Amino acid sequence: MTSTHRPRKRFGQNFLHDRGTIGRVIGAIAPMPDDPLVEIGPGRGALTVPLLQACGRVEAIEMDRDLLDGLREVCAPHGDIVLHQGDALTFDVAQCHQGAGLRLVGNLPYNISTPLIFRLLEQAELIRDMHFMLQREVVDRMIAPPGSRTYGRLSVMTQYHCQVKRLFTVAPGAFHPVPAVESAIVRLTPHAPGLTSPEEAVQLARVVTEAFGQRRKTLRKTLRELVPPSAFPACGIDPGARPEQLSLAAFRCLAAALRDADSPEHYTGAWNRDGR
């Protein structure tokens, strides 16, 4: 049934079929029996079947209803597949495997990959690791260092929450239909508890979003309503710099200044103008 399913552009479907690539991906994940695996976008089951063979049970989130029966059929001989039909952008992974130590896997549709990564980063405390196939350009942005052209909001927030490693690239011919771009496999490993905090993550996101929202402008201009002027010298930051010049540590320092600015004794209407 899955072999006759026509890929749908609106779901961003490019099905992985190359056996060599599938073997490399499974090798990188190194699934073990009873691992709490959650697959996003199983498609026709190219990764699902070998994951089931290794672990015995996989929970999978699939948007396309027409793929579900075929997935159950192809997976049945290999283990227990639990299918959740729905949009990964709104699905709460906490309901999978009792929401602890999750191992996330997926050949993510390019059209939702960036917002989905941001959503999953917010739930990093539930996740042991993530192995995703993404557009190579997206992975380049994730691993980009300060000062590079691709360094931006995705770089800072991903590196704040996780250790990020690009494993290998995948040629377009490994998929059907053949995409117009090259893909890459990335491993995201959330940092140990205590190295980040939900409060800091929220404040960091505010600063980073504002800074990169107008990346051609200086930090003095883009952050003038979020952080007090004294924060720049206190953090050792040139207020005339642009956001791509700042390290993660520098952004964290500004986020700490924002927390101070948000306290009642430093409150101003200007800093709260947009309701944040």
Residues 45 and 99 in one domain: yes
If asked whether residues 207 and 128 sit together in one domain, one would say no
Number of domains in the chain: 2
The CATH number assigned to the domain holding 176 equals 3.40.50.150
* pTM for the predicted model, two decimal places: 0.88
Same domain? 22 vs 149 = yes
Each residue's pLDDT tens digit in the chain (276 positions)? Answer: 344 555 445 445 688 999 999 999 999 999 999 999 999 999 899 999 999 999 999 999 999 999 999 999 999 999 999 999 999 999 999 999 887 899 999 999 888 999 999 999 999 999 999 999 999 999 999 999 999 999 999 999 999 999 999 999 999 999 988 888 899 999 999 999 899 999 999 999 999 999 999 989 999 999 999 999 999 999 999 999 999 999 999 999 999 998 766 654 443 333 232 322
If asked whether residues 219 and 82 sit together in one domain, one would say no
- Assess if residue 148 is contained within a domain: yes
Residues 183, 227 within the same domain: no
The last residue of one of the domains, among 136, 158, 190, is 190
Considering the domain boundaries, does residue 75 fall inside one? yes
Q: Which of 190, 217, 245 is the last residue of a domain?
A: 190
In a domain, 275, yes or no: no
Q: Are residues 142 and 57 in the same domain?
A: yes
* Structural domain for 249, as ranges: 198-266
> Is position 276 within any domain?
no
pLDDT at 263: 53
Asked if residue 144 and residue 92 are part of one domain, the reply reads yes
Question: Is 152 part of any domain?
Answer: yes
User: Is position 55 within any domain?
Assistant: yes
Please state, rounded to an integer, the average pLDDT across all residues of the chain. 89
Look at residue 272 and tell me if it is in a domain. no
Note whether 14 and 78 are same-domain residues. yes
Same-domain status, 225 and 169: no
3-state SS track over the chain: CHHHCCCCHHHCCCEECCHHHHHHHHHHHCCCCCCCEEEECCCCCCCHHHHHHHHCEEEEEECCHHHHHHHHHHHCCCCEEEEEECCCCCCCHHHCHHHCCEEEEEECCCCCHHHHHHHHHCCHHHEEEEEEEEEHHHHHHHHCCCCCCCCCHHHHHHHHHEEEEEEEEECHHHEECCCCCCEEEEEEEECCCCCCCHHHHHHHHHHHHHHHHCCCCCHHHHCCCCCCCCHHHHHCCCCCCCHHHCCHHHHHHHHHHHHHHHCHHHCCCCCCCCCC
Residues 63 and 44 grouped into a single domain? yes
Q: What is the CATH number of the domain that holds 227?
A: 1.10.8.100
> Domain boundary residue among 162, 190, 218?
190
In a shared domain, residues 177 and 205:
no
Q: 94 and 11 in one domain?
A: yes
Residue 272 pLDDT: 31
What confidence score (pLDDT) does residue 47 get? 97
Whether 271 is covered by a domain: the verdict is no
